[in-house]
Amino acid sequence: MTATPPTEPPLTAATPPRGTPPAALLFTPQFIARTDSPIGRLELTATDRGVASLSIERAGMLPHDDLAEHRNRLLDDAVQQLAEYFAGDRTEFTVPLDVSGTPFQRDIWHQLSLLGWGEALSYGELGLAAGRPGSGRAVGGAVGANPVPILVGCHRVLASNRRLTGYSAGNGLPTKIWLLDHERIEHHA
């Protein structure tokens, strides 16, 4: 996966709906697009530098359902690449990202961005790859805070025994299972 180095998007105050994923908290997006997918509606936000968040519908809601779409070229490209991914025609995303996070989170997300389609690893292996051995719980927190699921494949992280441990996007484990099955990644319930 190719992604530009993350930078901080401009933030403005907003009151998010209950259950809003962390990626969508506390900012009104500069650009916004929505699209349908096999796992529910997707909402992407972006700056003029890159995609800032991707939210998967939960309980029929998206974080910015009250805002009209305002697309830019980056979002059009991201929506097209996601359609190709869901159709089975794309295994790598090339849209630039513009995400916010702590240095630790960014290290973890960078390592996640190196995982290819159909590849998986454990939380411990991810921590080790990021130079943070023994930090499995913190790694799990960073994985769960990923603002751009699917584009940065946090669904590809499993327990060391290939069991599912959770998923913070969309409808949780059913969403993760769909994504893992789509990429033919072996897992255990």
User: Domain extents for the chain?
Assistant: 103-182
Q: How far apart are CA 58 and CA 86, in angstroms?
A: 18
Q: Which residue has the tokens 């319930």?
A: 189
Contact criterion met (CB below 8 Å) for 120 and 188 = no
Active site (annotated) includes residue 154? yes
User: Which CATH fold topology does 103-182 show?
Assistant: Arc Repressor Mutant, subunit A (1.10.10)
Instruction: Please determine, for residue 124, whether its predicted confidence score (pLDDT) is greater than 60.
Output: yes
What does the pLDDT average to over 24-46?
A: 88
**Average pLDDT of span 40-64:** 95
The residue among 67, 68, 69, 58 whose CA lies nearest residue 18 is 58
Annotated catalytic residue within 154, 158, 169, 180: 154
Q: What is the predicted pLDDT for the residue at 26? A: 52
**What pTM did the predictor assign?**
0.83
The structure tokens listed for 91 are 């295994």
